[in-house]
Structure 1
Amino acid sequence: MHMNALIITSEMHYGKFIQRGFEHENINSTIVDFEKLYDFLYAVNSDIFVFYIDEPTENYKQYIDIIRSCRDNCLVVLLTDSSLSKLKYPWIKESFDLIFYKPFSYLTIAFEIKYNICSMRERNFERELKCGDLVLDLKKREAYFNGNKIALRNKEFELLQFLIISRDKILTRSEILEHVWDYNTNILTNTVDVHISRLRRKLDKFKAGNLIKTVPCIGYIYESKK
């Protein structure tokens, strides 16, 4: 899945750190400052726009408005210094799709962005998510292996969808909880293990349960067939 990102910042050293995280997730990226944003907006076909702004005053809103007016189905992300920014600058909550506050984990940011852009593309464009012989019908919320329907409950379907989107990447139990269960504080991490076990049993009927591997002391990985 091809992805292009524009990293917009006056702090080039932060831009390079963000770029390293994108490289880890195979996202192509270009770093630009605010003065050159308009030139790159039309020259580069990007669907991800990442802003690093220390103090996100409302003066920056003009840049987001321009992006929204000429780019449909794009993801606009803000990286900023303090969680107090959402109180001090309330406009950012409505203008950005994702907001991250310091301290940053650039690998986590890149992963979150990739997951969100994949989910957005599926909602807007794709009706099926395929990985080898496994097909998810996203509209009907049904799963098939070699054309045979797999009976899945809602959370099992969402779990399998997340595993496939993140295929060949090690996922911690916390990451799975956050994306499939919205990290409800009443949900225990062994909930992930229980659902993985159920999902494996259902895939085992088609000799596909071994696609979901356990990574000891960390979590799980869905290994796509090479």
Structure 2
Amino acid sequence: MKILLIEDEARLVSIIQRDLTAEGHELSIALDGTTGLQMALKADFQLIILDIMLPGINGIEVCRQLRQANTQSAILMLTALGTTENIVVGLDSGADDYMVKPFSLAELNARIRTLARRNGSNAPAPNLLQVADLVINTDERSVTRAGKTIDLTATEYRLLEFLVKNRNHMLSRIEILENVWNIDFNMGTNVVDVYINYLRKKVDKDYEPKLIHTVVGMGYILK
């Protein structure tokens, strides 16, 4: 998830950065409201974590301006201001959720997951690889051809993904061994040929055009 953190407390920034990065999020940081507003308007963030008491423009005003600019990012306010009035003002300014400091990282991550589900329309498009009617969703590690799901083993999937990423490029057996099996020399094994045969039965046998081709004496090419 692409997240912008607008927070001026250096220690808290460090803690949140370490946690969210470990969770697999892509995090950008602004240490004041003015910079944060500019960053939020220029880039497409799925979530903005926003403190209220900021140098420059305060968080309430940042939130208002973002909503006036029709920013679709989810906004989570993190602040020490925890009265009912503060919470109402924050939510009325356009925030989607409000957390009061101090807070646990477990709760922060749970709130982020909830906002991600709620704002599913802002989720990043899936990472797709496509050749003809063969489609690989690398996020889900799923494969379809002509709209039909193709079930692959983990090794078959790695091999197919490598071929597709290098489509129209002839790959030697050694290149395939190095990248799919992490074997950096030819042990005289025919494992590549065996798995190419497995893939052909699943990906090519019942479909046209055929995608996996043998380059005699050299290797394989997907095109």
TM range, smaller chain: 0.3 to 0.5
Give the TM-score normalised by the residue count of structure 2: 0.47
Larger radius of gyration: 2
Give the TM-score normalised by the residue count of structure 1: 0.46
